[in-house]
Amino acid sequence: MFLSSGTSPLPGNLLGESMERLLVLVKPITPIIAPKVSPDRLRLYVEQGWIDKNIAKHLDRAFYRTHEGKPVILTITVRGAVRAIAPEWANKFTIQEGGIVFPRCYVETRSILRRDKQVLETFEAIDASCGPGKATFLIEGNDEKFMNVLRRALMERGLGAHRKCGFGRCDVVKQT
């Protein structure tokens, strides 16, 4: 829960220090592939009408959703990317709305090699054609330094699945 005074109960902000508000656009450079999805979560998405029932039968990976059904990259995922690049910044931010919200995603099926066996994997993905993701970060400290860390984390580390194969690279632009 965020307080109206601009403070946030972050682990690194136990003293209730003031937080900077930073609006950013996240623009995918390479496709962001969704994490694996549980059958229960997939069933919920079908019940809400966010995913088609016929597609859900084959879907292996799906994004978490906002209350409106829009795909979202969770704060914990962004925090992991930042922690890998600059651990000192990992607990100095949070994201309102629970993460980076994208306008839409698409479904793709690919043949992949898994344990020396070709298998078909059906997954949701987000790329530049889906539009930029939006996020409101609440940060402790200098927003320019944080923007540099965030940009480096999302360019080098990436978001989502199959990052080691080059997926999930994004650019970050400060919104005015």
What's the mean per-residue pLDDT of the chain? 84
Predicted local confidence at residue 17, as pLDDT? 60
Q: Report whether pLDDT(10) > 60.
A: no
- Short-list 111, 115, 122, CA closest to 42: 122
pLDDT band at 166 (very low <50, low <70, confident <90, very high): low
Q: What does the pLDDT read at residue 16?
A: 53
Q: pLDDT tens, 141-165?
A: 778 888 899 998 988 888 877 766 7
CA distance 47 to 126: 22
Quote the tokens at residue 43. Answer: 């069933």
pLDDT, position 24? 92
Domain residue extents for the chain: 20-174
d(CA 123, CA 62) in angstroms, rounded, equals 6
Separation between Cα atoms, residue 99 and residue 74, nearest integer Å: 4
Task: Record the tokens describing residue 159, joined without a space.
Answer: 């978001």
